[in-house]
Structure 1
């Protein structure tokens, strides 16, 4: 690298995954200084060849807070431990902001950097684990459009800070590019009535969502975990929609989401 003292050679502290990436042609690199941790990082861009996206089996994904990610293939990540640590960060921020001293402001900057790095690490780990649960060439991912989610969804006062500060779209973007690396297509559908629609008969009713965790259809009696149902509905929509309500056991793809696969914790 060129410096005011001439060209210097430095060692890269990277993992096995990054070493594999560097086997691809390097396009450019940018040296970045992070003030929060007082360290230099080198952002390297490489050119990669990815397979042509293909797949015929839709895997619906529901992203939330209590359940960070629930997929119709059985993959699930509990969000409660993550939210517990986010509350810890919020309390620290509130305490430092109330002091208002120069020392407190410096600590706030360092805290913001630490929280941002931790969130990115969590999102990368969750998205990677989910993508690893998919089968390239067979599966494709179906997710809801989350643009405007903060305006659409009403939350209780005590839940607003948690909801409005979470990175729903960032997690989707990480899933999307990791899928495309493996040739797994990603499609987006409108989120209309995802949590209220029965995946068996297509009935839409607010009463179907009995609680945060329970879904029970008022028409056909189908019952399951509400987050799982919210992940199934996008995949059913991607298959071509729902059949008439008066036809029993229809509108469900041939792999039969009604016999739910075992949940795998990521």
Structure 2
């Protein structure tokens, strides 16, 4: 992220498929067959404690072809899908994402084989999927044979990126009855320019982002929207019907899309300002903050739905795409430290909104002061990062 060289950046984009009813039926049957095969491979691996991919594939390859109607390459992809799922599970266990070994989530994860939903995404490589860019169609393997001429829709810019940079697997996804292909593209990142200064960003719940320039992106509208959605979800949960369950799932996805759109807008504006002024972007390193703090009962919902991590991800990849430097700095005491005299004391921040230094008297909005401290730490960190290595 801080280098001065071209590195390919993997980006995934969803393209809408427009299948006919016959084609959609074949795609649905294919997804279900592949996921049944993956679930079977998972059960065999769990029962026999298989970990080596080659041994795993040798054990179930013939069964996947005979029992589920998969051809050679889709069977290999199904095994690879299961291998990746177990690798992800082991990584989550090591990172502590499922709690300690004594927790219920941890014991359930290691005590049962990984399952796959009937319509879970399925990866296809270039042996199973081919693209006809001029006609805007794809040809894809299905359990009923090769299905040709499935149309897809995308913008001219997406098509240009797809033709020039698509590489590797593409995932077939069915979401709310709509079909998508999620294609993987490797785009070279531009050189990172030398920043003339930095924009420090303080992330919060009431104010989603506050920059060292004093720009404030409030989160009140998003908070009101989340509370309204929570009330509607409670009403649907109380009904306990299959229709209510389906509507509940749609509401959850709609709320997630809304929050993602807000983060996209905020990050786009910040990166645009940074690029126009030749500055870099710096944020606080907030990893693990949910485990470090102990909120009150009435604050737990707001903290658990706080989209700070996604906002940081959007800022990072948009800055990288624009060639701008991006840094994460230590978050300790950024809201309690005076940026002028350096005095750090909890009493400097009398309440959530106001900061007043007890030593020199500097006063201002607390979030802006925190953003200034983030900016100052980025200045020091960048000097250290870009300093030449000592000669031996």
> Scaled by the length of structure 2, what TM-score is found?
0.57
For residues 19 and 61 of structure 1, the distance between their equivalents in structure 2, rounded to whole angstroms, comes to 34
For residues 353 and 160 of structure 2, the distance between their equivalents in structure 1, rounded to whole angstroms, comes to 42
- Structure with greater contact order relative to length (CA < 8 Å, sep ≥ 6): 1
Please give the secondary structure, in 1, of the residue aligned with 2:198: strand
Matched, 1:189 2:329: yes
Deviation (angstroms), 1:98: 2.3
For residues 106 and 222 of structure 1, the distance between their equivalents in structure 2, rounded to whole angstroms, comes to 54
Asked if structure 1 preserves the Cα contact closer than 8 Å seen for 2:172 and 2:180, the reply is yes
Deviation (angstroms), 1:168: 1.3
Which residue, 256, 259, 271 being the options, matches 1:116?
256
Match of 1:32 in 2: 173
Asked if structure 1 preserves the Cα contact closer than 8 Å seen for 2:213 and 2:368, the reply is no
1:108-128 Cα shifts (integer Å, max 9, x gaps): 112112122222222222211
CA RMSD of aligned residues (A): 2.1
Which residue, 10, 16, 27 being the options, matches 2:151?
10
Q: What does 1:178-257 correspond to in 2, within 5 Å? A: 178-240=318-380
Which residue, 178, 182, 185 being the options, matches 1:43?
182
For residues 161 and 240 of structure 2, the distance between their equivalents in structure 1, rounded to whole angstroms, comes to 44
Distance 1:215 1:147, change over 3 A: same
For residues 365 and 155 of structure 2, the distance between their equivalents in structure 1, rounded to whole angstroms, comes to 38
> Scaled by the length of structure 1, what TM-score is found?
0.82
Greater fraction of residues in helix? 2
For residues 203 and 155 of structure 2, the distance between their equivalents in structure 1, rounded to whole angstroms, comes to 29
Gapped regions of structure 1 (runs ≥ 5): 242-266
Gapped regions of structure 2 (runs ≥ 5): 1-138, 382-392
Which residue, 60, 70, 78 being the options, matches 2:200?
60
1:80-122 Cα shifts (integer Å, max 9, x gaps): 1111101111111122222222222122112112122222222
Q: How many residues are treated as equivalent by the alignment?
A: 238
Deviation (angstroms), 1:61: 0.9
Deviation (angstroms), 1:203: 0.7
Structure 1 segments (4+ residues) deviating >3 Å: 14-24, 153-156
For residues 176 and 96 of structure 1, the distance between their equivalents in structure 2, rounded to whole angstroms, comes to 37
Asked if structure 2 preserves the Cα contact closer than 8 Å seen for 1:137 and 1:184, the reply is no
